Chains A and B, each alone.
Chain A
Amino acid sequence: MKLLKAIVRPNKVDEVKDALTRIGIAGMTVTEVRGHGKQKGHTAIYRGKEYNVSLLPKMQIEVVVNDSITDEAIKAIIQSARTGEIGDGRVFVLPVGETYKIRTGEKDSV
């Protein structure tokens, strides 16, 4: 099992969700986040005064997928979130040891 953590542009969330749904991934967590990657934001000017916008608003999508569809899921995220410009985001892939359903306490089978 893998945890895919994708940081994408806010306006790309719906497309990423649709792409994941199409390959059969239903459960996901979406969070509003702020941060920066290599681009380190930029300086904006408002009325002659500079203000730093180094932390850019992004969306974080987390999904847990079976190893068998991990590559497909990563591909789906990248294709749907990509614009080709700086600031498109990242996908992190983390191994997942075990998962439990809180309601029943039962351990998920892989």
Chain B
Amino acid sequence: MPLSFSIQLDEARRELKDDILRGHGGRAALARFSDRLDTIVRQLFAAAPQPPQPVAVVAIGGYGRRQLFLHSDIDLLVLFGGHLGSAEEDALRAILHPLWDLGLVVGHQVREIEEFGKLEVDNPEFLMALVDARLVAGDRGLYDRFESAFHHAGTHAHVVGALNALIDERYALFNATLYQLEPDVKESPGALRDLTATRWIGALTDPSLLRRGVEEPSKIEEAEDFLLRVRSILHLEGKRNQNQLTHQLQEKAADILGYPGAFPQQRVERLMSDYFRHARVVTRSLAWMRKTAPTPAGLNLGRTNDGIRFIDMRQAAVQPATWLAAFQAAIDNNCPVSDPALSLIRQYAERFRVEDFFPTPTHRAGLLHFLKPAAGLYARLSEMHDCGLLGRMFPPFQAITYRVVRDFFHKYTVDEHTLLTIRNLERLTTHAPPDRQRFSSLLRDLQQPELLVLSLLLHDVGKWRDDDHHVESVRMAREMFRRIGLTQEERDTVEFLIANHLAMSQVAFRRDTEDPEIVKKFAELFGVEERLKMLCLMTLADVEAVSTETLTPWRAELLWRLYVDTYNQLTMGYGDERIEANQPGHAELLANRPSDLSESDISNFLEGFPRRYLRLFDSEAIYRHVRLARDIHPDEVHLWMERKGEAWELTVVTLDKPFLFSNISGVLSSFGMDILRGHAMTSPNGLVLDVFVFTDSERFLELNASAKEQMFTVLNEVVSGKERVTDRLRGREHSLFNRRPMRVTPVVHADNTSSKRYTIIDIIADDELGLLYRISRVMSQNGCDVDLVLITTEGRRAIDVFHITKGGRKLSAAEQAELSAHLQRMLEGGYEAT
């Protein structure tokens, strides 16, 4: 068998040598030689043992381009569909060993297909070699997966960037001139690498550029064939991978290529003048390509000097689902969408319906991502409006295009007013003046700021009618919800914001906000802080978009004060508002209850919890809590855990006892869980409901089948007192107690006036593992009962509000001072909870 391969290879080499000596060692001859190698590789592959998973043998680099010289390396990528085991290694050996035995220099790369999920940025040469990849043997499906993993805008942009850097480096080696007396026909400026680079840039950015350019395609091909023929001669004469056209080899090449002339010097001059003429074509093509090629910016998208454009306009015209990506790319690249792209959209937009723009969940998620407040959003939305796309994507918006509503205040048409609200929000993220910084921080805190932008976009669409526009806006917005695939929770939020978009300015500017009753009533509108933050920002952006004079610092101050008072009411006053039988929502919970729950089950459970509870949870969650609370006995914990997107949510129902909260949060920390949000509530009869939302960065829950069970067992044992949480945390003491330097100065604030029943402790500190455990433990060690807790994380700050009592009463001034001092010391690292 090996004999037959060496015969085949010798024959192929002889054939190529004959071609070279006849002066025909150019494109066709090299391709033929490369095809001969393909045949050998295919035979080896067929004879090799087949591993259970798919394999593909892929030619890359020069071999992939079918430009294989006599002494070129054979660049191969061997691709596997799964993990490499011994069967895969056997197959690999059966292919590679015979090639080595033939004396070939094989540059082989072995990869599992999954590895192409992540770009090998530290290996630019390999990435470039992949541009010329071509399947030689093996599984076509696997090869296609590789192609689609490799060919996307991110990879293309990276490869082009790396390529440009390499070209500059290479040029520097040759003093950036092509006029070398002894040029390297592979590496010199104007030589083969430049040609390949021109083709790569075109292929990766805009293939149509390969047909255009400063030089005729035929001239480039002629130059290429010339360079290939010369390089073939160098390999033949040098008997190795020789690429420099030395004076001595120039004479040989001139003879083989048949240049006329009585003296060698004349023949050489003719050869070299041809060389420089061709090299000039190549450098000019490359320079033009580098100047003209767009930067890849997405599927069928590129960035040029005038902004984002479609690479293939005909394709773009029939693919409206790709249009939003152009505007997203413009935001990502901080540039406009180019005029030709906008004209195309203007021309074709009317042919499509909403669903055509967002055909899949991925597209709909893309829309929400696009609506996140960021620099350039207003400008892009204005472009979309200007070319008619916004009204096609959001039909309700069409109703207010150029709409004039006359009143004393508004200075712009309704559509522009709407877009300006979004610009105002965007400015909070980019260049907020000092007196707006506090609002910027609210915007940064929002979990889904895109819903605020969506609400702003739709808040005035009802203004095509003359009265009650907020009601009409809600009706019209509802039509959009399904079409863009919002979840029920998202719909509720957007509907709430549109319906109430005038409420906050009315209270802030027209009511006596120093009256606690007015604030309390206003707070009832929200129930939770997130919506308050959103409405506050919506009001700010809306008022400011009426005219340049409407949002005076005076009004901004009124708005901020109402926000703070309402926020304090929601986070500190809520403990006094208990659920009563006549509460809105209470009767519905009883009426719609599932058959396994009795009215008294539900009423007994709800009794004494803060009213906020009914705003935080939907009925399904409440019924679940009722079930968890049924038949609960001292020292028992009833648990429920589910995945919530990237995070996990744990619900704990148990009966109150000292150190309970710190024990539960300590157990979560002992498993490495980072608590993001949560609520803890205690009813006067001692029933405790804690809900924690946490992330599992160590992927303990994901990777261990019995993880949930383990966690539940430990929670049970710690709460019942069979195990001490401090023992469990010992293993993590390093991360818990040897902490990083502080980033924010911790704040501890005790308040005895905001609530009738509780002393409220506000704590702001660096968010880190075990923080809640340490805080609540200090409280318990000071003899305090932790009754209600609100847990929030904003970026790297933890913001926790504790409602506590001691012996059933608020803390005295002395007790407050002592607790605050202990907490402050612990947060500053001087006081360890043990």
Point out residues on A near B: beta carbons under 8 Å: 9-12, 14, 32-34, 44-50, 53, 57, 83, 85, 87
Would you list 11 pairs from A and B whose C-beta atoms are within 8 A, ordered by A residue? A10-B510, A11-B511, A32-B552, A44-B564, A44-B565, A45-B749, A45-B762, A46-B568, A47-B747, A48-B749, A57-B561
Q: Is the CB of B512 within 8 A of A48?
A: no
Describe A's contact surface by its main secondary structure: mixed
Describe B's contact surface by its main secondary structure: mixed
What separation, in Å, do the CA atoms of A82 and B188 have in the docked complex? 89
Q: Which residues of B contact A83 (CB under 8 A)?
A: 512
Q: Is the CB of A32 within 8 A of B555?
A: yes
Q: Is the CB of B564 within 8 A of A48?
A: no
Cβ of B763 within 8 Å of any chain A Cβ, yes or no, is: yes
Q: Which residues of B contact A47 (CB under 8 A)?
A: 747, 762, 764, 799
Q: Would you list which residues of chain B between 472 and 529 have a CB under 8 Å from chain A?
A: 509-515
Least CB distance from A46 to B in Å reads 5
Q: Which residues of B contact A34 (CB under 8 A)?
A: 554, 557
Q: Which residues of B contact A85 (CB under 8 A)?
A: 514-515
Cβ of B558 within 8 Å of any chain A Cβ, yes or no, is: yes
Query: Hey, what's the 0/1 contact readout for B653-679 against A, CB within 8 Å counting as 1?
Result: 000000000000000000000000000
Least CB distance from A62 to B in Å reads 16
Cβ of B647 within 8 Å of any chain A Cβ, yes or no, is: no
Q: Which residues of B contact A11 (CB under 8 A)?
A: 509-513
What separation, in Å, do the CA atoms of A85 and B751 have in the docked complex? 24
What separation, in Å, do the CA atoms of A87 and B514 have in the docked complex? 9
Q: Is the CB of A48 within 8 A of B558?
A: no
> Size of chain B's interface in residues, with CB distance under 8 A?
25
Q: Which residues of A contact B749 (CB under 8 A)?
A: 45, 48-50
Q: Would you list which residues of chain B between 92 and 111 have a CB under 8 Å from chain A?
A: none
Query: Hey, what's the 0/1 contact readout for B567-609 against A, CB within 8 Å counting as 1?
Result: 1100000000000000000000000000000000000000000
Cβ of B167 within 8 Å of any chain A Cβ, yes or no, is: no
Q: Which residues of A contact B763 (CB under 8 A)?
A: 48
Cβ of B375 within 8 Å of any chain A Cβ, yes or no, is: no
Closest to B751 in A: A45
Closest to A58 in B: B554
Least CB distance from A54 to B in Å reads 12
Task: Specify which of A14, A33, A48, A57 is in contact with B762 (CB 8 Å cutoff).
Answer: A48
What separation, in Å, do the CA atoms of A42 and B561 have in the docked complex? 12
Decide yes or no: A57 and B564 within 8 Å by CB, A11-B511, A45-B749, A48-B763 being known contacts: no
Closest to B552 in A: A32
Decide yes or no: A32 and B799 within 8 Å by CB, A45-B751, A46-B567, A48-B748 being known contacts: no
Closest to A50 in B: B749
Least CB distance from A41 to B in Å reads 11
Decide yes or no: A46 and B564 within 8 Å by CB, A10-B509, A57-B558 being known contacts: yes
Q: Which residues of A contact B511 (CB under 8 A)?
A: 11
Task: Give 18 A-B pairs besides A48-B747, A48-B763, A50-B749 with Cβ atoms closer than 8 angstroms.
Answer: A9-B512, A10-B509, A10-B558, A11-B511, A12-B512, A32-B554, A33-B554, A45-B751, A45-B762, A46-B564, A46-B567, A47-B764, A47-B799, A48-B762, A49-B764, A53-B561, A85-B515, A87-B514
Least CB distance from A70 to B in Å reads 27
What separation, in Å, do the CA atoms of A23 and B561 have in the docked complex? 34
Q: Which residues of B contact A33 (CB under 8 A)?
A: 554
What separation, in Å, do the CA atoms of A11 and B561 have in the docked complex? 14
Q: Which residues of B contact A14 (CB under 8 A)?
A: 510
Q: Which residues of A contact B512 (CB under 8 A)?
A: 9, 11-12, 83
Least CB distance from B438 to A in Å reads 9
What separation, in Å, do the CA atoms of A9 and B518 have in the docked complex? 15
What separation, in Å, do the CA atoms of A46 and B764 have in the docked complex? 11
What separation, in Å, do the CA atoms of A92 and B510 have in the docked complex? 23
